[in-house]
Amino acid sequence: MDFVDWRKRTDKPSLQAEEKRQAAAFRGRRMGDYVEELIRAAQERGEFDHLAGAGKPLNLEQYQEWDEFSMAHHLLKGSGYVPAEIELQRQIDRELAEAQEKLQRILAWRQRLLNRRFVLIDHQKRAYLTALDLAAVEYDDVLRRINKRILTLNLSTPAPMHRPIIKVDELVTQFREEAAL
């Protein structure tokens, strides 16, 4: 039996042969074309598919020009501070989302009652209607509080950041009509 040294296999091209092949491929071309070809080949092989930060926006803040307030802005942003107007907008959005979530729970309860195979019992109907009245009153109060916040926001921000006033009576009436049994 012949001994074959695995370190000197001949079926693999040598490193020098590979370098010569790459040099021959480069000869007579512009550098940019060659680099683009290498990048294209790497893309086809999928070498760029799982890079860190793939699909995320670039953080260009680190490359922006620094002025006298840049350090303060950077520290405030890093600690989660936002201007009062932006915080007020977020608070308005959060309260609207919570109010809509409560309405969706009432509407889901209504749907469960309507999808039952049995006739509604009076105490179930009364419980639902009581909850509906309470939810409508609470929805009215929440919308009025949100309107106060919207007015505050509109007074303290420039016109592009203004929000329209919520039509409370229309929305509450619409909710009552949707939730009626």
pLDDT tens-digit series, residues 26-50 = 676 677 777 888 888 888 988 888 8
Q: Which residues contact 85 (CB under 8 A, 6 or more apart)?
A: 153, 156, 157, 161
What is the per-residue pLDDT for 15?
Answer: 62
What range defines the domain where residue 35 resides?
Answer: 14-47
Looking at the structure, do residues 111 and 159 belong to the same domain, yes or no? yes
In a domain? residue 107:
yes
pLDDT at 13 over 70: no
| Mean pLDDT across the chain | 85
Name the pLDDT band for 75 (thresholds 50, 70, 90): confident
Looking at the structure, do residues 104 and 172 belong to the same domain, yes or no? yes
What is the per-residue pLDDT for 156?
Answer: 92
In a domain? residue 133:
yes
In a domain? residue 123:
yes
Looking at the structure, do residues 167 and 91 belong to the same domain, yes or no? yes
What is the per-residue pLDDT for 139?
Answer: 96
pLDDT at 55 over 70: yes
pTM: 0.59
In a domain? residue 9:
no
Burial (CB count <10 Å: 0-12, 13-18, 19+), residue 168? middle
Q: Dihedral through CA 29, CA 35, CA 40, CA 43, nearest 10?
A: 160
**What single-letter DSSP state applies at residue 157?**
S
What is the per-residue pLDDT for 93?
Answer: 96
In a domain? residue 149:
yes
In a domain? residue 101:
yes
Q: Give the chain's length.
A: 181
Determine the Cα–Cα distance for residues 99 and 19; give it in Å rounded to an integer.
68
What is the per-residue pLDDT for 77?
Answer: 81
Looking at the structure, do residues 91 and 39 belong to the same domain, yes or no? no
What is the per-residue pLDDT for 172?
Answer: 96
In a domain? residue 59:
no
